[in-house]
Structure 1
Amino acid sequence: MERIELDEAMLQGQAEIWRYLYSFADSMALKSAVELRIADIIHSNGGAATLSQIASCINDSLTSPNITTLARIMRLLVRRKIFTIHPPSDGGDPLYDLTHSSRWLLYDSEQTLVPMVLMENHPWQMAPWHYFSQCVKEGGVAFKKAHGCETWDLASGNPDFNKLFNDGLACTSKFITSAILSGYKQGFNSIGSLVDVGGGTGGLISEIVKVYPHIKGVNFDLPHVVSTAPAYNGVSHIGGDMFHAIPNTDAIIMKKP
């Protein structure tokens, strides 16, 4: 009996290793769904679409979409509950529907995680994960080992990475800002000026100033970050290094990425 239990435990342990070994497939399938705008296609089709309808809406001027590969991606994402599938009432092809999860993958939604999905799964961001064992042996920062420089240095010299990184952080600010404004009611009434330290492109401070227009808002971040920030009423963008100096103000706010 003990031998049987040991064998079952060993098989279960092997299954767990296989599960973790291939868990990267989930994030890659998620990224592909975002790049192909599958959630938007289903949404624009009235909330449900067949596989062929989804394929027909994937724009590629050079080749036709490979529906077999698309089916495999959708099968995995259905199993992970990103999408659902059900037979239509007329007996035709199965229909794919959005879920509460895939609604976060809509590009034009006010609350979307699309930029974060693209940022976190980009090769630039994935490469440092391959250096964890070296960090254990030698110390140091995984990102620097992968790219030869710190995150901010790469962003300052690479406009594409700078945009990818800033867009990823900005998208999370939108719904975090709602929580701050609803949970900290009247908390900003007595503040005349407020600086968001490490404020990225200014999404958080701009929403606070919009609700509390008496506040003089300052968005403070590294020069290469604020250089791409849009203009907001009541908000000044100032570039600098928070480890050296912070603009004078009544109060500061810092949001963890």
Structure 2
Amino acid sequence: MFSFADSITLKSAVELRIANIIHSHDGPITLSQIASCITDGLTSPDITTIARIMRLLIRRKIFIIHHPLDGRDFLFDLNNSSRWLLHDSEQTLTPIVLMENHPWQIAPWHYFSQCVKECGIAFKKAYGYEIWDLASGNPYFNKLFNDGIACSRIGGLISDIVKAYPHIKGVNFDLPHGVSTTPTYNGVSHIGGDMFHAIPNGDAVIMKVLP
């Protein structure tokens, strides 16, 4: 019943930039050192809550802990999993963690049983419109959604193909509000449109299924 706590706790660690804090120290650090970097200048962070976050994520093998033999404070460090939580890293997964765990994305899960009985789309049952409609009319959600989807690197994948085979011309085709926030990739042009009406001409098509 409490499996949801894993993803929400992971989101909290991303929002608090814990991986970046540890990374900036170039080595294992104490809980107090982590807490000292989590402040807005007005309030002191709750170190007990930080400890609970770290304890859960260590058990899920997201971070690692060192137990000094001399009785000093425990030390926390990154592993291969937590390195994916570094903000501004080329291979970061932080945008999709934040997107998938946003309340707007979680609410539709509560409508699955209704979808079974009535058919339909859970997101639309939760809000009365589809996710594309929300993204096209809400700049904040549009950026949140597109940043998360960018982690799947469909544009980056096409760019890698073009680099390996320079004679290929790459096109990233998505809804207009989707391509409006897509990063620039060498050798890849971004075209906005609706695949249910028309798609650009090409010799091969790669389709990415949303998470």
**Inter-partner Cα distance in structure 1 for 2:201 and 2:136:** 25
| 1:206 corresponds to | 159
| 1:10 corresponds to | none
Which range is displaced more, 205-214 or 76-85? 205-214
Contact 2:107 2:126 in 1 (8 A): yes
Report 1:218-257 matches (<5 A). Answer: 218-257=171-210
| 2:113 equivalent to 1:133 | yes
The Cα of 1:89 is off from its aligned counterpart by 5.4
The Cα of 1:135 is off from its aligned counterpart by 1.4
**Inter-partner Cα distance in structure 2 for 1:240 and 1:61:** 46
| 1:107 corresponds to | 87
**Inter-partner Cα distance in structure 2 for 1:105 and 1:233:** 26
Q: Deviations over 1:20-61 (max 9, x none)?
A: x11111111111011101111111112311000000011313
Q: How many residues align?
A: 210
Q: Deviations over 1:102-155 (max 9, x none)?
A: 111111332221111111101111010111122122221110011211111111
| 1:43 corresponds to | 23
Contact 2:146 2:181 in 1 (8 A): no
**Inter-partner Cα distance in structure 1 for 2:195 and 2:89:** 33
- Aligned partner of 1:29: which letter? T
**Inter-partner Cα distance in structure 2 for 1:95 and 1:251:** 50
SS at the partner of 1:238? Answer: strand
Q: Which runs of 4+ in 1 moved over 6 A?
A: none
**Inter-partner Cα distance in structure 2 for 1:30 and 1:235:** 33
Q: Deviations over 1:220-239 (max 9, x none)?
A: 11111112234444332221
Report 1:5-44 matches (<5 A). Answer: 21-44=1-24
| 1:85 corresponds to | 65
| 2:128 corresponds to | 148
Report 1:53-202 matches (<5 A). Answer: 53-88=33-68, 91-173=71-153, 202=155
**Inter-partner Cα distance in structure 2 for 1:160 and 1:50:** 35
**Inter-partner Cα distance in structure 2 for 1:213 and 1:62:** 53
How many percent of aligned residue pairs carry the same amino acid?
79
TM-score of the aligned structures, taking structure 2 as reference length: 0.91
**Inter-partner Cα distance in structure 2 for 1:99 and 1:211:** 31
SS at the partner of 1:126? Answer: helix
SS at the partner of 2:171? Answer: strand
- Aligned partner of 1:134: which letter? Q
Note the residue ranges of structure 1 that are not aligned, 5 or more in a row: 1-20, 174-198
TM-score of the aligned structures, taking structure 1 as reference length: 0.76
Which range is displaced more, 229-238 or 94-103? 229-238
